[in-house]
Amino acid sequence: MILSKQQIVEIMERFKVQNPNPKSELDFKNPFTLLVSVVLSAQATDKSVNFYTKPLYEVADSPQKILALGQEKLIEFIKPIGLWKNKSKNIIALSKRLIEVFGGIVPDSREKLMSLPGVGRKTANVVLNVVFGQNTMPVDTHLLRICPKIGLAEGTTPEQVENSLLKNIPSEYLQHAHHWLLLHGRYVCTARNPKCNECLIRDLCLNGSSLKGD
């Protein structure tokens, strides 16, 4: 079930008032370091990625510098983040491809980004939104979990939920909508013990509105 357009607009307006200019919680220096951080953030927290990439980006903040560093040295920086074997392999490979195919520049299209090793649709959407200001909808585990529950989207896969959100959320909110929803899922509408009493959209949420008598 999907909320009405008026209800969805009201949800977006409340998020906008609360946080008019949301930012990514990943620290980055340039488009390349954001791309690497998003790749590293798979099954890891932004906090851990930020902690371990800070010293990395002080010595290697471009594809050329990553290749000069080499995979073994790269592993020393990122190993505590987890899944370091595949992640280090992909970061080296995507750095090579960026140089060989794109002149060392992070491309601004989903198709080109997804041609890079280790870069899926969500990662591409994050880069397109944060770096290039495109109205994309990166769907991570938080959005996949909360958006159908709230009544903002239908679907059971990331791409289904992404397409539903793009259809249902008015375009004027799409620049920031995924950040609002990500932060909401991360800090309020948590998987365990959601903070419904602190939720600013509880009266509109399909799940929360049923809890009015609490």
Residue 214 confidence (pLDDT):
40
Residue 110, CB-side half-sphere exposure with 13 Å CA sphere = 13
Task: Give the amino acid at 211.
Answer: L
Q: State the chain's mean pLDDT as an integer.
A: 95
Residue 209 confidence (pLDDT):
56
Q: What is the pLDDT of residues 19-67, one digit of tens each?
A: 999 999 999 999 999 999 999 999 999 999 999 999 999 999 999 999 9
- Catalytically active residues, by annotation: 122, 140
Stretch 70-84: mean pLDDT: 96
- Report the residue count for the chain: 214
Q: What are the φ/ψ torsions at residue 27 (nearest 5 degrees)?
A: -85, 135
